[in-house]
Amino acid sequence: MRVLVTGGAGYIGSVTVAELLRAGHEVTVYDNLSHGYAQAVPRGVELIRGEVADRETLDTVFRSHGIEAVMHFAALVEAGESMQVPERYFRNNTASTLTLLEAMLAAGVKRLVFSSTAALYGEPETIPIRESDALKPTNVYGESKLLVERMLSWFHRIHDLRYASLRYFNAAGATREFGEAHQPESHLVPLILQVALGQRKDIAIYGTDYPTRDGTCIRDYIHVVDLADAHILALGALERDGQLIYNLGNGRGFSVREVIDVARRVTGHPIPAVEAARRPGDPAVLVASSEKIKRELGWQPRFAELETIVRSAWEWLQGHPRGYAGASATERSA
């Protein structure tokens, strides 16, 4: 299948592109490189630099490349930032996705796998969180993605758009070729590992008075390859199903302090930690039930242990201490 991957030069997108290629699909990457890297696009895959809000360019890509399906990763993802500049998130994540959907309809492309988020649930009423639970985001990032899910539901009803919405919990880990290299970095696992690498003095713990076992936030971590596998399964399932909504997580929660302790064991570094105030919009606990996608699509995480996830990220970071900076496009992995 000919698949357009928006945000395919980013962290999750690049790993998914590599897995799509292994599964025999033809892939085109569409990315503005604001948070992605040309060096993260696997060798032989065409990278088109463009904005998701650019309808004219999208129309050209759909027309010239015979695109049959879209995987949509392109988005701003920082919950804290979204509470400071909400307008950026509604324009980039919500309004731009509407432009993409319009271009898909105009080209007759009716299959979409959407990168959604567990932030849709806000403060969950029950743990683990199920897909049928209430959607009450506590930050603008989550709201911007929820608005997209609502659009997708209406487009499915009215235009017969076939879509899968995959609600991630905390993506982490790496492959030999591709890893997490945000600038600036804001995700917990790479931030902790940067301390072990000597790039940071310490790791901040934002909030120590949450109603959890050690007072710090609890999150569900999922390996990026397991995420990619779920996307490919969902793409195949759209051949027979028109509307799919799944949580993607391990079903196990780890506190910030526990993640730091695992990283200390993996790296052998003391990793100093300092306590800081809570960040606005951070729920205390986010842990997924992924039983639905396991039952319906047969998905099974291959790298479920937190130590395995952290170790893979550590191995990649040791080999790429500056991320993709300084690497040439010819150094992409095959």
What residues act catalytically? 141
CB distance 260 to 206 below 8 Å: no
Which DSSP string corresponds to 149-182? HHHHHHHHHHH--EEEEEEE-EEE---SS-----
Locate 20 and state its tokens. 């799509």
d(CA 34, CA 57): 17
| DSSP code for 279 | P
Structure tokens at 165: 């919405």
Q: Collapse the DSSP code of 30 into the 3-class scheme (helix H, G, I; strand E, B; otherwise coil) and give the result.
A: strand
Helical spans, DSSP H, in 23-122: 55-65, 79-82, 86-89, 96-107
Q: How many CA atoms lie within 13 A of 145 on its CB side?
A: 29
Is the CB of residue 62 less than 8 Å from the CB of residue 101? no
CB atoms within 10 A of CB 182: 16
Bridge-based pairing of strands 254-255 and 218-219 is antiparallel
Token pair of 151, please? 């659009």
Residue 144: HSE in the Cβ half-sphere, 13 Å Cα cutoff: 26
**Residue 174, token pair as written in the block:** 């790496």
What number of other Cβ atoms are within 10 A of residue 123's Cβ?
13
Token digits for 156?
A: 């499915």
One-letter amino acid for residue 114 of the chain: F
